[in-house]
Amino acid sequence: MTVDENLRCRVALNLILAETPGPAQKISRAIPNPADVLRTSVSELTAIGLSLKKAKTIASPEILDRADKEIRRAEAKGITILTPEDDRYPDLLREVFDPPFVLYCAGKVEALQGPAVAIVGARKSSAYGRAVGERLAQDLSMRGLVVVSGMARGIDSIAHWGALKGGRTVAVLGSGLDVVYPRENKMLFGKILQEGAVISEYPFGAPPLGRHFPLRNRIISGLVLALVVVEAAERSGSLISARLALEQNREVMAVPGNITSELSTGTNLLIKMGAKPVSGWEDVAEELPSSLRENVLESHPATPETAPDLSPEEKKIYRLMPSDSLIHVDELVIKSDYSVSEVLSFLLSLELKGLVVQSPGKYFRRKF
């Protein structure tokens, strides 16, 4: 079978099985050749565990026509579809129990080949979590590691933004690549395409359904050597990622948090259960394979950009701001003796210079 035939058959099967990797694995074990699957009878397909509906769809001659349209659409959009037989398919992902039948990849396919670390965490993250996630992602990417996450709100998004400051990042979606979710990450999506890759196992048009994300998480952990959880509640998708990473024999680490914070319950629990606590990029590097570990620890990242010049007033406001939490504008007014309008003016200038981030309600924090 040629590569094109293999791609065509795998895309056809993926259109049916993308949401149910269990049956996909049953097929792979029973009938390794995708082309043979399409020639298998309905009764034989149901005998290996497929539902009657899926078996009939696979046996239908229309499925290959749908695959052809999907491949042409990908070509028109500049999207690469990878199969496990392709040399560019990530080696680590190919080795997991239930690798995706196909991977849709937008951006730089070569970003999937670099040594990678995942950074995941809570969607409703704290200022502390966002600051730590951004700094950790930037530090790791500056040292040649690809940062992988799920482009969700909160820690995932901030990890991508931090990684883009230092190197490459890969986002794994729980929807088709033509369905950017959440919508506010459209700009982030575009930025990642310039320096990394956005991937998904889901066909075009697949919506971001809730059941997609636990399945998406197995790809995040499957791509990487280690997974770091920055913030997570007791019941969290990030803990699902951690469990999957352990099942895939990946290193699992967590950032310690305030014991009174609900967002730290999951990470502190992981540490109790044996996950390595992370306080900086060095802690992550020390758990990498020996040959890579030495290279990362001894690497010399590019010198950061020179800090912008600040006026005496801007310096005063900046020094009054905590490094790991939010502060309200009224508190800065009291501490600085400047008027509200003056403080807001200085904060706007600091924000434009990339030193300060504003949150809803006129709360501000330093930006790493």
C-alpha neighbours within 13 Å on the C-beta side of residue 328 = 4
Task: Read off the amino acid at residue 59.
Answer: A
| Segment 209-267, tens digit of pLDDT | 998 998 899 999 999 999 999 998 877 888 888 999 999 999 999 999 888 888 889 99
- Taking the C-alpha atoms of residue 131 and residue 189, their distance in angstroms, rounded to an integer, is 21
Task: Read off the amino acid at residue 100.
Answer: P
SS3 state of residue 310: coil
Would you say 21 and 100 are in contact if contact means Cβ atoms under 8 Å apart? yes
Q: What is the pLDDT along the chain (368 residues), one digit of tens a residue?
A: 455 888 998 999 898 877 666 666 677 777 878 888 888 888 888 888 788 888 888 888 888 999 999 999 999 999 999 999 999 999 999 988 888 989 999 999 999 998 999 999 999 888 889 889 999 999 999 999 999 999 999 999 999 999 998 899 999 999 999 999 999 999 999 999 998 999 999 999 999 999 899 889 999 999 999 999 999 887 788 888 899 999 999 999 999 988 888 888 999 999 999 999 999 999 999 999 888 888 888 776 654 455 578 899 999 999 898 766 788 999 999 999 899 999 999 999 998 888 888 877 788 888 75
- Alpha-carbon dihedral 134, 186, 354, 167, rounded to 10 degrees: 50
Provide the pairing of β-strand 356-359 with 363-366: antiparallel
Cα-based distances in Å from 220 to 101, 154, 255, 346 = 15, 16, 18, 40
Cα-based distances in Å from 268 to 13, 133, 215, 273 = 41, 16, 24, 9
DSSP 328: E
| Segment 138-154, tens digit of pLDDT | 999 999 999 999 999 99
Cα-based distances in Å from 128 to 215, 315, 324 = 28, 22, 5
E-strand ranges in the chain read: 80-82, 103-107, 116-120, 146-149, 169-172, 197-200, 226-229, 251-254, 276-277, 327-328, 356-359, 363-366
pLDDT for 252 = 95
Would you say 5 and 85 are in contact if contact means Cβ atoms under 8 Å apart? no
Among candidate residues 209, 204, 241, 208, the one with its CA nearest the CA of residue 223: 241
Would you say 278 and 253 are in contact if contact means Cβ atoms under 8 Å apart? yes
pLDDT for 299 = 76
DSSP per residue over 33-67, as a string? SHHHHHTS-HHHHHHTT--HHHHHHHHSTHHHHHH
Determine the Cα angle at 55 with ends 52 and 61, to 5°: 135
pLDDT for 303 = 47
